[in-house]
Amino acid sequence: MPTWVQALLWGTVAGAALVLGSAIAWKWTIAPKVVSSIMSFGAGVLISALSFDLVDEAERGGGLWPTAAGFLAGALVYVGANALLTRRGAKHRKRSNGKQPSEQDKPGSGTAIAIGALLDGIPESVVLGLGLVSGGSVSAAVLAAVFISNVPEGLSSTAGMKKSGRSAGYVFGVWGGIALISGLASLIGYASLQNAPAEMVAFITAIAAGAILAMLADTMIPEAFEEHHVLTGLIAALGFLAAFTISQAGG
């Protein structure tokens, strides 16, 4: 299979996990503690992937300074964009407990939530394509981390969308569109950097990593803590350990 097809395929598969989580939440009412537990696990998984399969690999491939600069840039860009979206009604886009505003409460919030969901998902997809540039194949640990974390993201956010009165067309349009865009983002990440210097690959990889960590702190961890704060740390640690085990077994 051509490498560019792999980039498109795996990015789409990872994005499809958002649709899976969304479908579960739309079909069934999931207990808030279950949602927060799954979100905690997903956050731990992503933190592990950031530590061992993104930032560490970027530093080894392109050096400390490109990695550090990219990581800081990614965090700054995400936080800035998220702050703008927060003002437009997307602050609670991953919350499942009814905090999301309806279109009547906050006109334009539907668009802001959709853009926010896209902002959250694109960095995760880009790193899948970048993995094909630096390693020649998609990292099983990163793919598993993105897929596992996307399920609770789609689940929690859709539960909140449903409670705020969003239609099925809106909900599945958002997540289906993001799944397709995720595949394209992975493809673009691969195609645009396949002949780039190692320092540039490290810089872009670290940008994505910094954005993902900022996303975790701003959106996933607050939802994870919301209902199940007593066990949030333990469940996140189990997610971290699961992803670390996959990474070591794959290495």
Does 168 score more than 60 pLDDT?
A: yes
**What's the confidence (pLDDT) of residue 133?**
77
Mean pLDDT for all residues in the chain:
85
What interhelical angle do 198-215 and 109-135 show, nearest 10? 140
Cβ contacts of 72 within 8 Å, gap of 6 or more? 210
The model's pTM is 0.85
pLDDT in tens, 19-78: 998 899 899 888 878 888 888 898 899 999 888 888 998 999 899 999 999 999 999 999
Mean pLDDT across 157-169 = 83
pLDDT at residue 184, as a whole number? 93
Looking at per-residue confidence, does 165 or 105 come out higher? 165
Of the listed ranges 12-16, 44-48, 127-131, the one predicted with least confidence: 127-131
Q: How confident is the model at residue 251 (pLDDT cuts 50, 70, 90)?
A: low
Predicted pLDDT at 35: 81
CB burial of 67-89 (b: ≥16 within 10 Å; e: otherwise) equals bbbbbebbbebbeeebeebeebb
Residue 34, class by beta-carbon neighbours within 10 Å (0-12 exposed, 13-18 middle, 19+ buried)?
Answer: middle
Label residue 230 by pLDDT band (50, 70, 90): confident
Return the pLDDT at 211.
Answer: 92
Are 79 and 218 spatial neighbours (Cβ–Cβ below 8 Å)? yes
116 vs 86: CA distance, rounded Å: 9
Mean pLDDT confidence for 204-219: 90
